[in-house]
Amino acid sequence: MGRMTLQEKIGQMVQIDRAVASADVMKNYFIGSVLSGGGSVPAQKASPGTWIKMLNEYQTGALSTRLGIPMIYGVDAVHGHNNVYNATIFPHNIGLGATREPELVKRIGVATALEVRATGMSYVCRDPRWGRCYESYSEDPEIVNAMTELVPGLQGDIPANYPKGIPYVPGKTNVAACAKHFAGDGGTANGINADNAILDWDGLVKIHMPGYISSITKGVATGFVISDWQGIDLITSPSHANYTYSVEKAIAAGVDMAMVPYNYTEYINELTQLVNNGAVPMSRIDDAVRRILRVKFVMGLFENPMADESLVNELDSQRIGERSSKEITCAVEERER
């Protein structure tokens, strides 16, 4: 990290949408991460091969920079690799919660991780506790807590003697999980998406935190903190009213990587100016970049940055999908008696 310029460091702290990504953008701005937002696909009914070709193009751009730091690709795999045509789609989380079977959810995590890695992606934004009811396992925090078995399903089981605080994503069929969107976000006022959550401490701790605490103990929080889609803009009202202020406060609050899908050049310029003016210390930039690079090293992206096309032939998740559907049907029938 000591060899990196400020521009290279800030680039690692940026995640852009694939719609504006290219090999040249990755190279010229040292972009650290790309994501597929909702419905952001390379083509309608795109095959895994099309996804692989796209990701490898972006990765080639990232690797062509002075230090050759690989990018990490993020995707919402909410109930299977649902952005990819013909991927296995599992029942939604609210149905899986009804099964009361954490081990089944863990197996779904394993299957999802394999399908995601087969298309070259390595970072999954997943929802252990989230207020859109179909994306949440349950309104019961005990059920949500149990269903965090999804995390080791995606990332792998942490060995007993593994050092604490270090990311664990051991194999080419595992992905880095993301618990989102933050404790309390499922309890917003009047159920409005991305609105304010007005909660007392008791409600926050007993209802909204258990799933996150369990996810943390299973290794989900050993990586880096990322904002939500254009989340930095929402720090002010109206949105984006004082972007300099928003960037400064977000970084100070602990955001390591900003999801700035489209206005990434504005973000890069603002953060660069804030560092040069002394408003954001270089030590905070180093702190963020260190965590981002650590995840990339642990995942083996420096050694194997390109998508492994051989994984496509290993996909066999339909049986798990069929079993989970049957378990939900049985759970509903049992409760109707």
Q: Which helix (H) or strand (E) holds 36?
A: strand 33-36
Task: Read off the tokens for 94.
Answer: 């609210």
Burial pattern 111-129, b for ≥16 Cβ within 10 A else e, equals bbbbbbbbbbbbbbbbbbb
Tell the residue number behind the tokens 């051989």, with chain if given: 310
DSSP-assigned letter for residue 205: I
Q: pLDDT 10s per residue in the chain (337 long)?
A: 899 999 999 999 999 999 999 999 999 999 999 998 878 888 888 888 899 999 999 999 999 999 999 999 988 877 778 778 777 778 777 777 877 888 888 888 888 888 888 777 765 554 444 446 666 777 788 888 888 998 899 899 999 999 888 888 988 888 888 887 777 777 776 666 677 778 889 988 888 888 888 988 888 867 899 998 899 999 998 999 999 999 999 999 999 999 999 999 999 999 999 999 999 999 999 999 999 999 999 989 999 999 887 776 655 555 555 555 555 555 545 555 5
Cα–Cα distances (Å) from 165 to 162, 218, 291, 330, in that order, read 9, 11, 11, 40
Task: Read off the tokens for 86.
Answer: 């013909």
* Alpha-helical regions (H) of the chain: 6-12, 23-29, 48-63, 93-99, 102-118, 141-146, 150-155, 201-203, 210-217, 243-253, 264-276, 282-298, 318-336
Fold of the domain built from segment(s) 12-336 = TIM Barrel (3.20.20)
Sketch the domain layout of the chain as residue ranges. Answer: 12-336
Flag whether the pTM goes above 0.75. yes
Task: Read off the tokens for 238.
Answer: 């109206």
Long-range interactions of 327-333: CB distance < 8 A, separation 24+: 327/99, 327/101, 327/104, 328/91, 328/95, 328/96, 328/98, 328/99, 331/98, 331/99, 331/100, 332/98
pLDDT in the model for residue 310: 75
Whole-angstrom distance, CA of residue 76 vs CA of residue 331: 27
Q: Which residues, in sequence order, are CB contacts of 213 under 8 Å at separation 6+? A: 145
Identify the CA nearest to 297 among candidates 166, 114, 115, 121: 166
